[in-house]
Amino acid sequence: MSLLMHGPQQRAWVEINRDAITHNTSCIKASLAEHCELMAVVKADGYGHGAVTVAEAAIKGGASSFGVATLAEAIELRQAGIKQPVLVLGNLQAPEEFRCCLHWQLMPTISSLRQAQLANQEAANAGQPLAVQLKLDTGMARLGAPWEEGPQLLAAINAMADLQLHGLYSHLADADQLASSHTRLQQQRFEEVMQHLTGINQRPGFCHLANSAATLGNRELHYNLVRVGLAIYGHAPAAHLSQKIALKPAMTVRARVTLLREVPAGVGVSYGHRFVTQRPSRLAVLGIGYADGVARLLSGRMEVM
C-alpha cells in the first residue's frame, strides 16, 4: 500500500477521543439516581464514531447496556466480544430475525401482539427463552404499540411461556423543548401503563422514556434506565441543556490545508461567490468536501480552527 494511504498523510480524517466518551458517560451516570442505569445508544455506527470504540469507552464510564437500530449493528457488538445486554430499537418482523436474536442473545423490541407471538414461537422452537422489551407509542407516532393497548399486551406477553419481559419503554417527540406539554402528556400515558403493571404485579425490569434531552433536562423522566446517545458523544441536544453537564465533544474532523493563496479585496470565493473578500486576504483551500459530508448547506455557516 502506498505511503499516502496512511494516517496523517490523508487529506481529511476524523479523530475520536475515547476518553471524552468515557468522561461524558461517567458524568451523566453520576447525575442519575443511584438505582438508575445508563444505556448507551450506539446506533448508526456509534453516531459515526465507531460503534465498538464507543461501546468500550462507554462501559468504562458506567454504561450497563446498549441500544442499536438494527440487527447487524447488534451483531457487530457481539462479534467484538461485548457481553452487555443489547436492545434492538428498530422493528423486527421476520422469523429469522428473532432466531438471530436468540443466537446472539439480543433483545428485540416488541410493538404488536403479532410480533410477540412470532418471537414466542421462535423461542419455543429453539427451546430457549427470549428476553424482549415492549415499546409503547405514547405520542411519537413512530414505533410502538398504541399505549392504550399496553396493559393487554403486557398480560399477553406475560402469558407467553418462552418470552421474558425485560422492559417497557417509549420515546419522546419533544424532549428538547423546555417544559413541553406534549412531553407531560407522554409521561402521563407512560405512567398510566406502569401503574397498571404494579397493580397486576407484572412490572418488567426496566421502564424507560428518556433520550439525552430528557436525561439532562428532567429527572422525573429517568425511572430506572435512560437511553443516551448525543450526550455521550459530547453534544447537548439543545442550547438550554448545554450548561447541565460539562460534555466534551468526542469527534474532531481534520483536513489538510492543500493550498494557500493571496487574493485582493473584492474577490468572490467559491460557488455562488457567497463570500467576497473585504480586504486583501489569504485563502486556505482545505482538502475536504461534499463527499466527506461537508454539505453545501454549511456555506457561510461553518468555522474551522
Binding region for ligand PLP (CB under 6 A): 41, 43, 89, 171, 211-213, 227-230, 237
* C-alpha separations of 127 from 72, 115, 226 in Å: 24, 18, 32
CB 278, min distance to ligand PLP, A: 40
Give the residue with the Cβ less far from ligand PLP, 150 or 237: 237
* Torsional class of 79: left (φ above 0), alpha (ψ -120 to 50), beta (otherwise): alpha
Q: What values do phi and psi take at 109, rounded to 5?
A: -90, 130
271 carries an active-site annotation: yes
From 29, 43, 223, 233, active-site residue: 43
CB 215, min distance to ligand PLP, A: 7
Cell 499516502 -> residue: 4
Q: What values do phi and psi take at 298, rounded to 5?
A: -85, 0
CB 54, min distance to ligand PLP, A: 12
Give the residue with the Cβ less far from ligand PLP, 131 or 230: 230
Strand partners, 286: 257
CB 171, min distance to ligand PLP, A: 4
Give the residue with the Cβ less far from ligand PLP, 49 or 227: 227
| Residue least distant from ligand PLP (Cβ) | 229
Q: Are 280 and 264 in contact (CB under 8 A)?
A: yes
CB 148, min distance to ligand PLP, A: 20
Please state whether beta strands 37-41 and 65-68 pair in parallel, antiparallel, or not at all (unpaired). Answer: parallel
Give the residue with the Cβ less far from ligand PLP, 32 or 288: 32
Give the residue with the Cβ less far from ligand PLP, 157 or 228: 228
Q: Which residues contact 26 (CB under 8 A, 6 or more apart)?
A: 60, 61, 62
* C-alpha separations of 300 from 270, 278, 285 in Å: 11, 15, 15
CB 230, min distance to ligand PLP, A: 4
60 carries an active-site annotation: no
Spatial separation of the C-alpha atoms in residues 186 and 140, rounded to whole Å: 9
Q: What is the DSSP letter of 289?
A: -
Give the residue with the Cβ less far from ligand PLP, 201 or 243: 243
* Torsional class of 236: left (φ above 0), alpha (ψ -120 to 50), beta (otherwise): beta
Query: What are the residue numbers of the active site?
Result: 43, 271
